[in-house]
């Protein structure tokens, strides 16, 4: 640095501001500032700006980047933490899905009716044309066909019963039937049924355990969210109180 | 004992991805903060930070260690920020997202600050952010690197590829613009001395 510090030496001024001068140069600048009010004011103002810059912070973002090797050695991916919809608990997603279905059903006016013809599903808001006109002949037709249908049902039941009895007799006495094969088939069926029951029990147990774990995790998240909300509400209340105080304080 | 950057770099170069992940963990927040302050958008800053580490990992075999690992990372991140600004062809915006909670930040520091002070500080932060977006990219980057990352003038000069004196000029001009902006907003910036 030159022996004398001059007002237009902004590079030295910046170095002074950031404590980047050696002791001798710093003394020279200090000496100048004692004599030059303009430079002293400028240094003070710029130092004030630096102080105010400390107030600016980035968001407290969740990052958690991780390098994951994929395939060959050079290939890699940086995975980011899940965001958005992935952070919504499963139960909340299920509720949302049910809500969407319910709204869709309401919009489409889905109606499910159970009657003699089985389940009838209808959609839409249009009233069926000439319903009353058709209802009377339909009722008359029902009266006409009911006895015939009942008779047909009875006949079918009788035939099925006879068929079972004759089949059983044939299985017991027919010379062409291989009893050992039948026994083997029954044994295999029983084994298969047992295996299926065991698998079902296993899956039910696993599902129950998974659901319980998910429920606990969701409860924990909900508790955390409630805690966070309570804190936030308290802060909002504090801010509101401040605004009220500020607005009611008489201007001086 | 905590491994140094150089040790982790050496292990990473030998094929230890976990060591590189330790470096990521160590530097992800500074890199994200740098990107956020330079380009001013949270989501894009995350993308830049992610891409920085991905590029660093891929370029690791070519890292000869002439510069510090952090300087190397800063260079990659700043290049990506520059690309982003060029690609978007717009002045970087400095949003003040809702989740920048100065109340929370202050709560972490203790209950000594009043709510009035917190509100004032939040307002000041918003004004600083607005002032920063008025600056040309080079001035803003120089201020960010100096103020928030504590780089030396020489390191900034190396990163920006300009002489040392240019860095000081950029800092002086940037701080002066910020001073005028803050004063126009009614914020007195006089601190009575050096802030260091």
| Per-residue pLDDT of chain B in tens (196 residues, 90 and over written 9) | 788 999 999 999 988 888 999 999 999 999 999 999 998 888 999 999 999 999 999 999 888 888 889 999 999 999 999 999 888 765 545 554 444 444 454 444 444 556 666 666 677 888 898 899 899 999 999 999 999 999 999 999 999 999 999 999 999 999 999 999 999 888 765 554 454 4
Q: Residue A63 and residue B124: Cβ atoms within 8 Å?
A: no
- The per-residue pLDDT for B135 is 93
Query: What gap in Å lies between CA B155 and CA B146, rounded to an integer?
Result: 9
Distance of alpha carbon B23 from alpha carbon A219, whole angstroms: 34
Using the beta-carbon criterion (under 8 Å), do A238 and B115 form an inter-chain contact?
A: yes
Structure tokens at A114: 């159970």
Residue B194 belongs to some domain of the structure? no
Query: What gap in Å lies between CA B59 and CA B42, rounded to an integer?
Result: 26
B141 and B126 in a common domain: no
Instruction: Nearest chain A residue to B116 by CA: give it.
Output: A242
Q: Is A47 on the interface with B (CB under 8 A)?
A: yes
**Residue B170 to residues A171, B31, B173: CA-CA distances in angstroms?**
102, 22, 5
DSSP 8-state assignment for residue B61: G
Nearest to A105 by CA among A118, A93, A122: A122
Q: Is the pLDDT of residue A57 over 50?
A: yes
Query: Which of B171, B180, B184, B186 to probe by mutation at the A interface, max A CB count within 10 Å?
Result: B171
Shared domain for B158 and B80, answered yes or no, is no
pLDDT one-digit tens code per residue, A5-18 = 889 899 999 999 99
Most confident by average pLDDT, A134-138, A170-174, B94-98, B130-134: B130-134
ipTM of this complex: 0.77
* More confidently predicted of A111 and B27: B27
Residue B41 lies in a domain: yes
- Same domain flag for B25 and B37: yes
Instruction: Assign residue B51 the CATH number of its domain.
Output: 1.10.1740.10
Query: How many Å apart are CA B75 and CA B168, to the nearest integer?
Result: 19
Are the C-beta atoms of residues B135 and B181 closer than 8 Å to each other? no
Sign of CA dihedral B45, B49, B55, B56: positive
pLDDT at A114 exceeding the cut of 70: no
B69 and B103 in a single domain? The answer is: no
Q: How far apart are CA A55 and CA B189, in angstroms?
A: 13
Q: Does A8 touch chain B (CB under 8 A)?
A: no
Who among A20, A53, A65 is closest to B50 (CB)?
A65
Query: What pLDDT is attached to residue A180?
Result: 77
Token code pair at residue B100: 């920048």
- The pLDDT confidence band at residue A34, using thresholds 50, 70 and 90, is very high
Domain boundary among B67, B94, B121: B94
CA-CA-CA-CA dihedral for A138, A139, A140, A146, to nearest 10: 100
Task: Give yes or no: residues B32 and B88 share one domain.
Answer: yes
Closest CA to A61 of B115, B23, B143, B98: B98
For residue B84, what are the domain limits?
Answer: 1-94
How many contacts, defined by CB atoms under 8 Å, are there between A and B?
167
In terms of domains, do B30 and B63 share one? yes
Whether residue B140 is contained in a domain is answered as yes
Residue A79 binned pLDDT confidence (cut-offs 50, 70, 90): low
Q: Does the pLDDT value for residue A176 go beyond 70? A: no
Task: For residues A51-70, give the mean pLDDT.
Answer: 83
Q: State the CATH number of the domain containing residue B144.
A: 1.10.10.10
Residues B7 and B90 in one domain: yes
Claim to verify: residue B90 and residue B145 sit in the same structural domain: no
Count the neighbouring beta carbons within 10 Å of the beta carbon of residue B179: 21
Q: Which of A14, A44, A56 sits opposite B193 (nearest CB)?
A: A44
* Cβ atoms of residues B34 and B149 within 8 Å: yes
* pLDDT for res A209: 78
Q: Which chain A residues have a beta carbon less than 8 Å from that of B125? A: 55-57
B108 and B51 inside one domain: no
CB atoms within 10 A of CB A15: 21
Contact between residue B123 and residue B20 where contact means Cβ atoms under 8 Å apart: no
- A18 interfaces chain B, CB cutoff of 8 Å: yes
Number of domains making up chain B: 3
- In sequence order, the 6+-apart residues with CB closer than 8 A to the CB of B55 are B76, B80
Q: Say whether A58 and B125 touch across the interface (CB within 8 A).
A: no
At residue A135, the pLDDT reads 46
Residues B31, B42 within the same domain: yes
> Is B77's Cβ below 8 Å from some Cβ in A?
no
- Domain assignment present for B196: no
Average pLDDT estimate for A81-110: 60
pLDDT reported for residue B74: 94
Q: Is the pLDDT of residue A142 over 60?
A: no
CB B105, CB A57: distance < 8 Å: yes
Percent of chain A exceeding pLDDT 90 equals: 17
**Touching check for B50 and chain A: CB below 8 Å?**
yes
Residue B4 counted as domain residue? yes
Query: Could you give the 3-state DSSP secondary structure of residue A126?
Result: coil
The minimal CB distance from B172 to the residues A10, A60, A77 is found for: A10
% pLDDT > 70, chain A: 61
Least confident of A75-79, A151-155, B95-99: B95-99
Does residue B7 form part of some domain? yes
Give the pLDDT score at A75: 45
Cα–Cα dist B166/B139, whole Å:
10
Identify the residue whose tokens are 């088939």.
A185
Concatenated DSSP letters for A80-107? PPP-GGGGS-HHHHHHHHHHHHHHHHHH
What does the pLDDT read at residue A196?
86
Closest CA to B13 of B48, B87, B63: B63
Cβ–Cβ under 8 Å, residues A14 and A1: no
Is there a single domain that holds both residue B40 and residue B107? no
Within-domain flag for B192: no
Closest residue in A to B46 (Cα) is A63
Give the Cα separation of A178 and A30 in Å (integer): 116
Same domain, B90 and B100: no
């Amino acid at each position: 640095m030159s022996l004398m510090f001059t007002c237009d030496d902004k590079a030295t001024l910046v170095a002074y501001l950031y404590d980047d001068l050696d002791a001798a140069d710093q003394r020279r600048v200090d000496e100048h500032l004692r004599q030059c009010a303009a430079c002293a004011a400028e240094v003070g103002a710029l130092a004030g700006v630096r102080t105010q810059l400390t107030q600016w912070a980035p968001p407290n973002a969740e990052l958690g980047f991780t390098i994951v090797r994929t395939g060959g050695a050079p290939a890699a991916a940086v995975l980011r933490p899940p965001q958005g919809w992935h952070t919504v608990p499963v139960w909340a997603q299920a509720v949302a899905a049910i809500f969407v279905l319910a709204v869709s059903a309401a919009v489409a006016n889905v109606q499910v009716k159970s009657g003699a013809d089985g389940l009838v599903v209808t959609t839409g808001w249009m009233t069926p044309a000439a319903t009353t006109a058709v209802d009377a002949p339909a009722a008359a037709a029902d009266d006409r066909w009911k006895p015939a249908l009942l008779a047909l049902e009875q006949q079918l039941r009788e035939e099925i019963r006879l068929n079972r009895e004759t089949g059983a007799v044939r299985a017991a006495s027919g010379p062409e039937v291989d009893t050992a094969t039948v026994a083997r088939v029954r044994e295999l069926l029983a084994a298969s049924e047992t295996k299926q029951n065991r698998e079902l029990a296993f899956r039910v147990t696993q599902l129950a355990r998974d659901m319980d774990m998910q429920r606990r995790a969701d409860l924990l998240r909900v508790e955390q969210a409630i805690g966070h909300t309570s804190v936030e509400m308290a802060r909002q209340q504090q801010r509101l109180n401040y605004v009220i105080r500020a607005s009611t304080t008489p201007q001086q | 004992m905590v491994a140094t950057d150089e040790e982790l770099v050496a292990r990473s170069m030998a094929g230890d991805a976990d060591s590189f992940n330790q470096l990521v963990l160590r530097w992800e927040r500074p890199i994200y903060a740098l990107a956020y302050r330079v380009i001013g958008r949270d989501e894009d800053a995350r993308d830049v930070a992610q891409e920085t580490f991905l590029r660093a990992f891929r370029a690791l075999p070519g890292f000869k260690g002439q510069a510090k690992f952090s300087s190397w990372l800063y260079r990659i991140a700043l290049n990506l920020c520059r690309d982003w600004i060029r690609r978007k062809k717009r002045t970087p915006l400095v949003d003040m997202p809702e989740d920048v909670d100065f109340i929370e930040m202050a709560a972490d520091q203790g209950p000594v600050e009043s709510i009035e002070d917190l509100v004032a500080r939040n307002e000041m932060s918003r004004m600083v952010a607005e002032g920063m977006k008025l600056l040309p990219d080079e001035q803003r980057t120089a201020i960010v690197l100096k103020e928030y990352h504590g780089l030396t003038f020489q390191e900034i000069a190396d990163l920006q590829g300009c002489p040392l004196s240019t860095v000081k000029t950029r800092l002086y001009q940037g701080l002066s613009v910020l001073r005028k902006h803050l004063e126009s907003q009614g914020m007195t910036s006089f601190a009575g001395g050096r802030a260091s």
